[in-house]
Amino acid sequence: MAAKVIMPQMGESVAEGTIVRWIKKVGERVERDEPLLEISTDKVDAEIPSPAGGTLSRILVKENETVEVNTVLAEIDGEAPDEGAGASVAGPAQPVVSKPAVPEAPPTAEAARRIRSSPLVRRLAKEHQIDLTRVQGTGEAGRISKNDIEAYLASAKAERPAPEGTAPSLPVPPSSAGAPAAFTGPTQRVPMTPMRRQIAERMVTSKRISAHVSTFFEVEMTRVAETLVQAGAEFERRNGIKLTYTPFFVRAAVQALKQFPIVNSSLDGENIIYKRDINIGVAVALETGLIVPVIKRADEKNFLGIARALRDLADRARSKRLSVDDVQEGTFTITNPGIFGSLLGTPIIHQPQVAIMGVGAVEKRPVVRNDAIAIRPMVYLSLSFDHRVLDGALADQFMAHIKVALENWDESVL
């Protein structure tokens, strides 16, 4: 029987998804759980594993088309019965068979993570510090073989990923910066990617909904910079994470949010919704656009916990392995234009939140101290807030709290 591949529900509120790319072509063989296509929804982009093994016989939805959840996208002509109907095969009303050892797996990005390999592959992965979830298995049932890992190593050598030292939230900008491939006339019309369309719509909507106001603070970073110098090496040795400025800003913001719960709220009609949890979204720039993974319950994490969460989310954002959950439920957002050298920005609020903080570049500047000119590491922080909910006085008190925390940093990071 032909197994049907359906558009998965990538989150409760997600009603539709766009086909970004078919990884397999019609007529090609596909193993169960082998990546079949990439989709993009307004929450995340994800690779969809094949629900069954067989031959991809029909593609019903072309690339760049957007369809509703549960739409049939393709058909796979099944193979031997023991490979049978997979968990997510939407077959005609007949029992769905799944092997006892294999848990029912909806076709989400996480579902493809059940890795089959061999002792040799696991040893090589350990030796070369390879994350096996990134290696494409070509063996039986998608098993990762020695050849696969050797091919992965060869390709990894060719395109070395960002070096270890890169700060968690400091992605390298795309080299081509989104230029069209080639001009065939004076202008070139290029359709937006689903992600780009989504960002465009969100930004305009936010500008329309919220009464944006921005305020700016200049913060001396001497204490933080000293902490970085004094504890950086030991922090990295103990935790395997390079110590950067970002977790300091997140930590200071969390403390300020505790003092000013109104900044950790949203507006629903004529009601203000206060949020118990402090979930900090941190913007990560990717080649394809901006994504904002969220550190959940950041108020319950210590400094290391925040640094680790930042690193994990940034890594997974870049490897397209964020889950829907990772980008939801933010209550406050921090964006970091300073990494590209910007002094200060006026970011747009991430709805339905009521404020967003922008962090400029930390750099040494001449400042007046005791009526003398001194050289100090300085940073401009900006806050865009929704004037419907917050007034300037409160917003500035909130920012002052952050400024004081950073300038008088006394928390041990080790």
Partner 1 sequence: MPILTHLEAIRQGIGEEMERDSSVFLLGEDIGVYGGAFKVTEGMLEKFGAERVIDTPISESAIVGAAVGAALVGMRPVVEMQFMDFIACAFDQIVNMAAKIHYRWGAKVPMVIRGPSGAGVHGGPYHSQSNEMWFVHTPGLKVVVPSTAYDAKGLIKAAIRDDNPVIFYEHKYLYRRVKDEVPLEDYVVPIGQAILRREGTDIAVITYGAMVWTALEAAAQLEKEGISLEVLDLRSLLPYDEEAILASVRKCSKVILLHEDTRIGGMAGELAAVIAEKAFDDLDGPIVRVTAPDTPVPFSPPLEDHFLPNARKLAEAARKLASY
Would you count residue 204 as binding partner 1 (CB under 8 A)? Answer: no
d(CA 218, CA 170): 21
Residue 389 CA: distances (Å) to CA of 121, 141, 268, 270: 55, 54, 11, 10
Please provide the distance, in angstroms rounded to a whole number, between the alpha carbons at the two ends of the chain. Answer: 59
The piece of 6-14, 19-27, 135-143, 239-247 that touches partner 1 (CB under 8 A) is 135-143
| Cis peptide preceding 352, ω within 30 of 0 | yes
How many CA atoms within 13 Å lie on the side-chain side of 175?
A: 0
- Contact (Cβ atoms closer than 8 angstroms) between residue 355 and residue 364: no
Q: For the CB of residue 146, give the shortest distance to partner 1 in the complex, in Å.
A: 4
Residue type, 316: R
Start-end of H helices in 214-324: 222-239, 246-259, 303-318
- Choosing from 91, 139, 232, 352, the residue that interacts with partner 1 (CB under 8 A) is 139
Would you count residue 123 as binding partner 1 (CB under 8 A)? Answer: yes
- Between CA 11 and CA 18, with CA 15 as vertex, the angle to 5 degrees is 95
Residue 334 forms beta bridges with which residues?
282, 357
Q: Which one, 28 or 140, has the nearer CB to partner 1?
A: 140
The piece of 119-127, 168-176, 273-281, 371-379 that touches partner 1 (CB under 8 A) is 119-127
Q: Which one, 64 or 118, has the nearer CB to partner 1?
A: 118
Q: Please identify every residue annotated as catalytic.
A: 387, 391
Q: For the CB of residue 138, give the shortest distance to partner 1 in the complex, in Å.
A: 9
Q: For the CB of residue 403, give the shortest distance to partner 1 in the complex, in Å.
A: 55
Q: For the CB of residue 128, give the shortest distance to partner 1 in the complex, in Å.
A: 14
Q: For the CB of residue 122, give the shortest distance to partner 1 in the complex, in Å.
A: 8
How many CA atoms within 13 Å lie on the side-chain side of 389?
A: 27
Would you count residue 118 as binding partner 1 (CB under 8 A)? Answer: yes
* Look-up of token digits 């944006």: 212
- Contact (Cβ atoms closer than 8 angstroms) between residue 304 and residue 285: no
- Choosing from 92, 119, 163, 341, the residue that interacts with partner 1 (CB under 8 A) is 119
The piece of 43-51, 83-91, 112-120, 244-252 that touches partner 1 (CB under 8 A) is 112-120
- Contact (Cβ atoms closer than 8 angstroms) between residue 278 and residue 331: yes
Would you count residue 146 as binding partner 1 (CB under 8 A)? Answer: yes
d(CA 383, CA 381): 7
Q: Which one, 143 or 212, has the nearer CB to partner 1?
A: 143
Would you count residue 140 as binding partner 1 (CB under 8 A)? Answer: yes
Would you count residue 55 as binding partner 1 (CB under 8 A)? Answer: no
By CB under 8 A, the count of residues binding partner 1 is: 10
Q: For the CB of residue 125, give the shortest distance to partner 1 in the complex, in Å.
A: 11
Would you count residue 153 as binding partner 1 (CB under 8 A)? Answer: no
- Choosing from 90, 120, 273, 374, the residue that interacts with partner 1 (CB under 8 A) is 120
d(CA 38, CA 392): 44
Would you count residue 121 as binding partner 1 (CB under 8 A)? Answer: yes
Select from 75, 72, 76, 14 the least CA-distant residue to 46. 14
List of residues contacting partner 1 (CB under 8 A): 118-121, 123, 139-140, 143, 145-146
